[in-house]
Structure 1
Amino acid sequence: MDSERSTKIKIGENEYSLVLTTKATKKIAARYGGLENLGDKLMKSENFEMALDEVIWLITLLANQSVLIHNLKNPDDKKPLLKEDEVELLTSPFDLAEYKSAIMESMYKGTKRNIKSEESSKNTAVG
């Protein structure tokens, strides 16, 4: 998986790439009303259990994007999708706190724009 577009985390014995895809963005928008509301929801959850549920849902969603991409590109070597129950059983609350920053990093990587300057600018005044 392209490291410019993803952030790696380890869940149990397996490494996953968290990737913000258009598909994931649509699911986040349906759940939170848009990416801009995501941070508020994570920080202002009514209770600890709800906050954990949101982080687990996001980890599962973003990690499964890399699995779905792999399965699309490798139809003869499909990997199983990660389940929220697996994330809950194979992680600790301490892990989830670390994953929050990985979630935010993958969101940043998924939404950043690469702006390239032209080599020679036709608007530059020549002296």
Structure 2
Amino acid sequence: MADERSSKITIGGAEYEMLLTTKATKEIAGRYGGLSNLGEKLMKSENFEMALDEIVWLITLLANQSVLVHNLKNPVKKRELLTEEAVELLTSPFELADYKNAIMDAMYKGTKRHVESEDEPSKNAEVG
């Protein structure tokens, strides 16, 4: 994946690229009602266990997007998908806090718009 669209994390010694795709956006919308509700839901989780569950779900979802893209492009050399159980077993709560920044970075990169303006003569410039 191109770095401008992903954020890298390491889980259990394996590197994953967290990527916000249209597919992931649809799953987030189904679970939270949209990207804009995601932050609010995470902050208002009933308890610590629920907050951890949501972060683990997001990490798994976003990390698997790059695996799914790889598998689509390389049907002969498929990689195994990450599971929520693997994320829970191979990480510590301290690492999850770091991954939260990677989640936000991947989501920002996935929703970023590149706007370029064309060179246009100034309306105050003299035409000669």
- Where on the TM-score scale, by shorter chain, does this alignment land: which range? over 0.9
Cα RMSD of the aligned pairs, angstroms, is 1.0
User: Matched residues in 2 for 1:92 and 1:41: separation?
Assistant: 22
Q: Give 1 or 2 for the bigger CA radius of gyration.
A: 2
User: Matched residues in 2 for 1:92 and 1:14: separation?
Assistant: 15
SS of corresponding position for 2:75: coil
Q: Which residue of 2 aligns with 1:93?
A: 93
Q: Which residue of 2 aligns with 1:27?
A: 27
Identity %: 69
Q: Which residue of 2 aligns with 1:48?
A: 48
SS of corresponding position for 1:41: helix
1:58-95 deviation digits (Å, cap 9, x = unpaired): 00000000000000111110001000000000000000
The residue type equivalent to 1:115 in the other structure is: V
Q: What pairs with 1:1-127 in structure 2 (closer than 5 Å)?
A: 1-118=1-118, 120-121=119-120, 124-127=123-126
Q: Which consecutive aligned stretches of 4+ in structure 1 deviate over 3 angstroms post-superposition?
A: 122-125
Q: Gapped runs of 5+ residues in structure 2?
A: none
The residue type equivalent to 2:51 in the other structure is: A
SS of corresponding position for 1:45: coil
User: Matched residues in 1 for 2:57 and 2:123: separation?
Assistant: 50
The residue type equivalent to 1:121 in the other structure is: E
SS of corresponding position for 2:18: strand
The TM-score normalised by the length of structure 2 is 0.95
1:6-54 deviation digits (Å, cap 9, x = unpaired): 0000000100000000000000000000000000011111100000000
SS of corresponding position for 2:16: strand
The residue type equivalent to 1:98 in the other structure is: D
